[in-house]
Amino acid sequence: MNGTVLIIGMGLIGGSLSLCIKKEHPHAKVIGHDVNHKELRLAKSLGVIDEMSLSLQTAAEQADLIIISTPVFQTEKIIAQFESLSLKESVLITDTGSTKEQIMRSSEVLTKNGIQFIGGHPMAGSHKSGVAAAKEILFENAFYMLTPGSGVAEENVGKLQDWLRGTHAKFLIVEPREHDELTGMISHFPHIVAASLVHQAKGSSTEHPYLRRLAAGGFRDITRIASSNPTMWKDITIQNRGVLLSLLKEWKVEMDEVVSLIEMNDSQKIYDYFNDAKVFRDDLPILEKGAIPSFYDLFVDVPDYPGVISEVTGYLAQEKISLTNIRIMETREDIYGVLAISFQTLEDRERALHCLREQTNYELFLG
């Protein structure tokens, strides 16, 4: 496809979308805009965009496709700005926000004037942020949810999908309310729970000084998402306030039932509670990408001698296998390896598993 694409927000998502569009549509021109001029210049120097624009108005008025890839509250402000600009009548506008109902209400100032706004949410992420972390494969096999505004022609939904074809994502068209309920349950709510678990551990750490060291193992892993950007999650929580309040009330009922189970001391019911959760969890798709970025971990049971970590990473480097994190486990209950290595993709982990099996006799376990 030919035309001019404006991407507002040169972060991980905006940068990765730009790379996908540039690869799939080499004749299109991609312009980047960001209030952070340092990130904008970096995007241009890395070849993530073709041009950079310091003027939102100038870039927006020449664009055939506008992608707003900013925090949700900033997205609303940008949409409001568009109302006073002389945009092309045929322009398509979309966003990448994690909440949709409030943004779609904001977009009505555009749709009432005939501008086509299609809400979007690529359900992919990374352990890294910023345009330097952008990559073409970020959205591969991920769900990409679309929420067309009122009056949006079906052919324009298809046109947007054509623009985004290079993501190799799986598109789902849903209502804004349904989107917020789904993502609230399997993404936003778990972030609150993870943050709550960390707060509870923090409260106990004064009384139990060894807690921090013990939490370096499984506890740190199950609460990983609590390390996400607090500004972003503040905005998401406020935007999806109604859904989250409902889920938290349901969670209180669930926890009351757990309290009752433990108070009754009924071993069969306690077993059933854990077993039912295990059966449902084990039946979840393994190879699908969901709302929370997957963590592809490999645990390596290495001997304790100087240089063993550089040995392992050296083998991976020889095979040009990228890793996102590496850490030494201090506690090993329910975790079989002392060296935990995280990878961006399932393919990277499989290559690492094969590599280390070929090069070492260490025990290897999948996380």
Q: What is the CATH number of the domain that holds 186?
A: 1.10.3660.10
Task: Specify the number of domains making up the chain.
Answer: 3
Residue 118 sits in the same domain as residue 195: no
φ, ψ of residue 51 to 5 degrees: the values are: -140, 155
Q: What is the pLDDT of residues 252-282, one digit of tens each?
A: 999 999 999 999 999 999 999 999 999 998 8
* 123 within some domain: yes
- Do 152 and 200 belong together in one domain? no
Which residue among 122, 146, 174 closes a domain?
Answer: 174
269 domain-assigned:
no
User: Does 362 share its domain with 233?
Assistant: no
- Cα–Cα distance, 214 to 333 (Å, whole number): 10
Q: In this structure, are 212 and 330 located in the same domain?
A: no
Q: Which of 161, 162, 169, 98 is nearest to 136 (CA)?
A: 169
Q: Is the pTM of this model over 0.85?
A: no
Residue 54 and residue 150 in one domain: yes
CATH number at residue 126: 3.40.50.720
Give me the mean pLDDT over the 290-305 stretch: 71
Q: 212-258: per-residue pLDDT in tens?
A: 877 766 787 788 888 888 888 898 999 999 999 999 999 999 999 99
Write the pLDDT tens digit of every residue in 134-179.
989 889 888 999 999 888 989 999 999 999 999 999 999 999 999 9
Are residues 168 and 33 both part of a single domain?
A: yes
Per the prediction, the chain carries an average pLDDT of: 88
Using a pLDDT cut of 90, give the percent of the chain over it: 57
φ/ψ bin of 197: left (φ > 0), alpha (ψ from -120 to 50), beta (otherwise): alpha
Mean pLDDT of 337-356: 82
Whether residue 236 sits in one domain with residue 356: no
Output the pLDDT for position 295. 67
Residue 285 lies in a domain: no
136 and 53 in a common domain:
yes
Range of the domain at 191: 179-255
How far is 81 from 58, CA to CA, in rounded Å? Answer: 13
- Using the predicted structure, report yes or no on whether residue 337 has a pLDDT greater than 50: no
Residues 156 and 183 in one domain: no
Select the highest-mean-pLDDT range: 36-45, 123-132, 348-357.
36-45
In a domain, 43, yes or no: yes
195 and 326 inside one domain = no
My answer on whether 91 and 220 are in the same domain is no
pLDDT confidence tier of residue 93, bands split at 50, 70 and 90: very high
Query: Does residue 78 form part of some domain?
Result: yes
Q: Are residues 166 and 212 in the same domain?
A: no
The 8-class DSSP code of residue 126 comes to -
Of 158, 174, 190, which residue sits at a domain end?
174
**Residue 288 domain-assigned?**
no
Phi, psi of 199 (to 5 degrees): -60, -40
Among residues of the chain, what percentage have pLDDT more than 70?
92
CATH number at residue 340: 3.30.70.260
Evaluate if residue 336 carries a pLDDT over 70.
Answer: no
Give the three-state DSSP class for 106: helix
Structure confidence by residue, pLDDT tens digits, 9-67: 999 999 999 999 999 999 999 999 999 999 999 999 999 999 999 999 999 999 999 99
Measure Cα distances from 260 to 20, 166, 264, 268, 273 in Å.
Answer: 52, 51, 6, 14, 12
